[in-house]
């Protein structure tokens, strides 16, 4: 009597970029592979997670985090982005190619609406976002025991810092993201907050926030 097991696609467990490289190199995968690319990076993080984990049972916390991440993953993929990794109660996502920043901004604007609507259905899932755009290094980190293909550089670091200071249901983005989108998208989604000086950085960073629309309306010159 034989039994068959369905094989889950590897894309369910690894980022799209990693799967493409595995397909390309196979067993000859170079351990020092690092590629430069223009990308728009999104970090998300749940606010007040420590208090959440302290007050509720682990399975309740798990269900809430999973529900929040599922909403984010669906939107990111719908707008042509890729989830690079989950970071506990948040994630790191990458957008590349044509209109990368416009797609990322529209995606996060949609997520601000969807996540706020989700509030109260399970536990509080008050998420903040940080977005930056520029030249990043996509490289393999680790050794033969454990490899991970991830994004490295100041662009990702700044996006993570913005995420760290964002309020619940707030998305902060840099002037580099705004410079990479159309005037129509800037007018529709972006509000200037002012310059921010981060520790360790010589120059201040111009910070904008995304104003979430009641429902997504594509920019005039969007080409998703």
User: Residue 162's domain is classified under what CATH number?
Assistant: 3.30.70.1230
pLDDT of residue 49: 75
Radius of gyration of the chain (CA): 18
Kindly state the helix (H) or strand (E) to which residue 223 belongs, with its residue range: none
pLDDT of residue 2: 47
| Interaxial angle between packed helices 100-118 and 58-78, expressed in degrees from 0 to 180 and rounded to the nearest 10 | 150
pLDDT of residue 95: 96
pLDDT of residue 218: 52
Kindly state the helix (H) or strand (E) to which residue 51 belongs, with its residue range: helix 49-55
SS3 69: helix
pLDDT of residue 1: 46
Q: Would you say residue 22 lies in a domain?
A: no
Q: Would you say residue 63 lies in a domain?
A: yes
pTM for this model (two decimals): 0.82
Q: Would you say residue 15 lies in a domain?
A: no
Q: Would you say residue 70 lies in a domain?
A: yes
What residues pair up with 205 in beta bridges, in sequence order? 196
Residue with tokens 């990322």: 104
Q: Would you say residue 171 lies in a domain?
A: yes
Which residues 6+ apart lie within 8 Å of 135 measured at CB?
36, 37, 38, 153, 155
For the chain, which ranges sit under pLDDT 50?
A: 1-3, 214, 216, 220-224
pLDDT of residue 223: 43
pLDDT of residue 141: 76
Q: How many domains does the chain have?
A: 1
pLDDT of residue 148: 74
Q: Would you say residue 105 lies in a domain?
A: yes
Q: How far is CA 13 from the centre of its chain?
A: 16
Q: Would you say residue 200 lies in a domain?
A: yes
How confident is the model over 8-58, as pLDDT tens digits? 666 666 666 666 666 666 666 666 767 889 999 999 998 877 777 788 888
Q: Would you say residue 2 lies in a domain?
A: no
Task: Show the DSSP H helices in 26-174 as ranges.
Answer: 49-55, 58-78, 100-118, 154-165
Provide the domain limits for residue 146.
33-210
Cα atoms found within 13 Å of the Cα of residue 220, Cβ hemisphere only: 6
């Amino acid at each position: 009597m034989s039994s068959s097991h369905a094989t889950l696609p590897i894309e369910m467990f690894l980022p799209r970029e990693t799967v493409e490289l595995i397909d390309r190199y196979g067993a000859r995968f170079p351990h020092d592979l690092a590629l430069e690319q223009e990308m728009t990076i999104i970090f998300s993080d749940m606010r007040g997670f420590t208090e959440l984990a302290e007050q509720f049972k682990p399975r309740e916390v798990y269900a809430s985090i999973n529900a929040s991440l599922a909403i984010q993953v669906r939107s990111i993929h719908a707008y042509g982005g890729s989830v690079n990794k989950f970071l506990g109660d948040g994630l790191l996502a990458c957008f590349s190619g044509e209109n990368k920043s416009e797609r990322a901004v529209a995606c996060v604007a949609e997520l601000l609406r969807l996540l706020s609507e989700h509030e109260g259905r399970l536990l509080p899932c008050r998420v903040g976002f940080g977005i930056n755009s520029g030249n990043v290094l996509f490289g393999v980190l680790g050794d033969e025991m454990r490899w991970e293909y991830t994004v490295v550089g100041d662009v990702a670091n700044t996006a993570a810092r913005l995420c760290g200071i964002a309020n619940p249901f707030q998305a902060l983005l840099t002037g580099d993201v705004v410079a990479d989108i159309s005037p129509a998208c800037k007018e529709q989604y972006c509000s200037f907050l002012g310059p921010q000086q981060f520790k360790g950085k010589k120059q201040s960073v111009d910070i904008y926030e995304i104003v979430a629309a009641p429902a997504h309306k594509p920019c005039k010159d969007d080409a998703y």
